[in-house]
A and B are shown apart, each in its own frame.
Chain A
Amino acid sequence: MGTADFVEIVVKSLVIIWALLTGFAYMTWFERRVIARLQSRVGPNRVGPSGLLQPLADGVKLMFKEDIVPAEADRALYLLAPLVAVVPAIMAFAIVPVGPSVTLFGRTIPLHLADMNIALLYFLGLGSLGVYGVVLAGWASNNKYALLGGLRASAQMISYELAMGLAVLSVVMLAGSLSLVDIVNAQAGGRWFILLQPVAFLIFLVTMIAETKRAPFDLPEAEQELVAGFHTEYSGMKFALFFMGEYIAMIAISGVAVSLFLGGWRGPFAEQVPILGVLYFFVKLVAFLFFFVWLRATLPRLRYDRLMHLGWKVLLPLSLANVVVTALAVVARDTGFFGLW
């Protein structure tokens, strides 16, 4: 690697982190505004035009808040937990291609950080690591509510991870690669995988909401029964880090969903004008994020036994069946069995 490569990596990393942070801040504003509108309220509109400076005000406030650590907490783990919640969420975005290659200063720069041949395994692995942040927080707080929240989170996340892995698997079979760049390229010309894999898309949609612990799967932090769940004892900036982790995970998982099923940055004329590709990607991403918020305003929380029932007895068999059907269809296509394609 030359110096230019190194500079490119550092600049791209910083841009991604800046974009995720801004995305996180404005996602909080977006969510509050949209939910307010859905509930016939106004929402935050006083700080700056339409309340656009609200996230900044919240950030400054949290910076100056006292950080209360419970006397009986496990201090090392208590500090470690928010970090473990945030870092995997940030890391997951590294594999998402946000656009085609662009030429800047005479260099061809691909608009993704790392194109690994194991990208999706890396993504699923980071998803599992995210569980540790929640479990450690629940354990280290030395609080019964927090412990229950952590336990619930771990059981929920591992249950839905299986179905998610199998849903991703059926896309991998069509694309023949684990790299998100290859998967986006396989969807060139409007052959989006949502058309070929509608069932996998639905399963992925449900599991991605469960994995990010969002309503209606927000049992780990069910405020009516568990106060605030695993982050009951957290305050100040550490509390904010859990939210940062949750929102960045939402953005990253939406980015992966867009690349897997909605053709990533692809769209009309995106190859000729790279900036259009980035725009398409952004629009699709926002559509997913709006869906997250819309669900939260619409659906009540699931009961815990129903949640487990849905994960293990509905989604897991369904995704397994989907993999088998996809396998049969791919063989039928390759052998010209139906005379299709």
Chain B
Amino acid sequence: MKPYAVIGAFLVIGLLLPLMTVMAATLLSPRKPNPIKQDIYECGLKTVGETWVQFKVQYYIYALIFVVFDIEVVFLYPWAVAYNQLGLFALVEMLIFAGILLAGLLYAWRKGALSWV
């Protein structure tokens, strides 16, 4: 339990640092807003249309593939830690698991999900 308490204490101190710098800067800095200054920056032109528009679906596909693979990688972690004690059985089991991972990757590859278009 102790290391987690330490991390908790560190989080509190670590949060204080950026909060304090932002607060100090708020107290020290000038504040003279005007509509032109607060405009959205677009190289001097008025921005056209909505900013929060639909974006490329490819980003979403990458995110989906990532979630699948990330969970699979996380499953490999406990196996890797105990690997020294598990021996040949664990190796065979992992090879099957890595094979499934690889098949998933190849499927996504063949379907063209990994090519940026």
Interface residues of A (CB under 8 A from B): 1, 9-10, 13-14, 16-17, 21, 62-72, 79, 82-83, 86-87, 90-91, 94, 113-116, 120-122, 139, 141-145, 147, 151, 154-155, 158-159, 161-162, 165-166, 169-170, 172-173, 176-178, 227, 232-233, 236-238, 240-241, 244, 304-305, 308-309, 312-313, 316-317, 320, 323-324, 327-328, 330-331, 334-335
Contacts and interface: CB of A to CB of B under 8 A. Distances in A.
Interface of B, secondary structure class, is: helix
A177 B10 contact: no
Contact of A83 (B7, B18, B43, B47): B18
A68 B30 CA distance: 10
Contacts of A169: 73, 76-77, 80
B91 A331 contact: yes
Interface of B: 2-7, 9-11, 13-15, 17-19, 21-22, 24-26, 28-33, 35, 37-43, 47, 51-53, 55-56, 58-59, 62-63, 65-66, 69-70, 73-74, 76-77, 80-85, 87-88, 91, 94-95, 98, 101-102, 105, 109, 114-116
A169 B101 CA distance: 15
A172 B7 contact: no
Given A13-B9, A71-B35, A86-B18, A154 B59 contact: yes
16 contacts: A66-B29, A66-B31, A86-B17, A114-B7, A142-B51, A142-B52, A144-B51, A144-B53, A145-B42, A158-B66, A162-B69, A172-B80, A308-B116, A317-B102, A320-B105, A330-B84
A172 B81 contact: yes
Nearest to A313: B114
A106 B37 CA distance: 59
Given A154-B59, A178-B81, A68 B116 contact: no
Given A63-B28, A323-B76, A147 B14 contact: no
A296 to B, nearest CB: 24
A68 B65 CA distance: 38
Nearest to B1: A1
A178 B77 contact: yes
B40 A94 contact: no
Q: Closest 9 CB pairs between A and B?
A: A237-B25, A305-B116, A114-B3, A71-B38, A90-B14, A158-B66, A114-B6, A176-B84, A116-B3
Nearest to A308: B116
B18 A173 contact: no
A87 B15 contact: yes
B102 A143 contact: no
Nearest to B83: A173
Nearest to A306: B116
Contact of A144 (B38, B47, B65, B87): B47
Contact of A67 (B17, B25, B53, B70): B25
A90 B17 contact: yes
Nearest to B108: A312
Nearest to A333: B84
Q: By CB atoms of chain A within 10 A, which of B18, B33, B98 has the most?
A: B18
B42 A327 contact: no
Contacts of B56: 151
Contacts of A236: 25, 29
Nearest to A148: B55
Contacts of A69: 33, 38
Given A158-B70, A237-B21, A237-B25, 10 more contacts: A16-B10, A67-B25, A72-B51, A83-B19, A87-B14, A144-B51, A147-B55, A173-B80, A238-B25, A309-B114
A113 B80 CA distance: 25
Contacts of A227: 41, 43
A23 B46 CA distance: 40
A193 B114 CA distance: 32
A90 B29 CA distance: 25
